[in-house]
Structure 1
């Protein structure tokens, strides 16, 4: 898809995900989401949803590689909604610690924006330093989110 500063970026969709090493990307996200992550099986459900061609599902998985090693990954899900809820939600984005500050996260998010139709929502913890990147890319804080966990 693209190469920037020696890092290659690939986008996988329900129509084209040949060559995606699912387990490698899941392992990367599980390890590098740090305290902002979820269980591996939940990340897997998210990826399967993004790559599903079933009606009402879909999205994309973006992977950054440096010398064949995953150094960044992003999963975006289509919500199937419009207007009252954004059409897409950026669920996961993680960058390897040794490549943080080198634009990998910014490039992944920008590529997701560039290749996605409709609005994009994301959730970010208040103390997550990545929130400044999201604001620079045009995201704004519209709501506080509350959840009733069951």
Structure 2
């Protein structure tokens, strides 16, 4: 697997457009994913505000993708948030997710936060590469 990094300095990739990446993430995140419109917002954030997309490629085809958005903060809030990581179902169990995660963490210049559902199998990967759960996240949602 080869890596390709996209960010606001590198510009967008003609072969791997945001639509192509969003389609890949939408398909391979399965029940833990978001609507394609929300995935596109996270991808556009990379090019508008900061962060990166790390693609795992085999023969120019996407076999894995990580999306990291920069928060613009540090110290009390981590500098980065891992928004998405997905591996093609044919690549699962072969170490591709770990390689992608380790590659993405090397590109980060500070701490990284993420949100994961307790029943998501990716939780094991996150713990394996060093993520811990020292906090309980709570959310308040404005009623529409």
TM-score (norm 2): 0.92
Secondary structure, aligned partner of 1:76: strand
Structure 2 residue runs of 5 or longer lacking an equivalent are none
Q: CA deviation at 1:104?
A: 1.3
Q: What does residue range 1-150 of structure 1 map to in structure 2 within 5 Å? A: 7-19=1-13, 20-52=16-48, 57-150=49-142
User: Which whole-Å deviations, capped at 9, do the CAs of 1:75-133 have from their partners, x for residues lacking one?
Assistant: 00000111111010000001111100111111111111101101000111111121111
**What do you get for the CA RMSD once the two structures are aligned?**
1.2
Aligned length: 140
Secondary structure of the 1:110 match is helix
Structure 1's consecutive aligned runs of 4 or more residues displaced over 4 angstroms after TM superposition are none
The 3-state SS of whatever aligns with 2:55 is strand
TM-score by length of 1: 0.88
Tell me by how many angstroms 1:18 deviates.
4.0
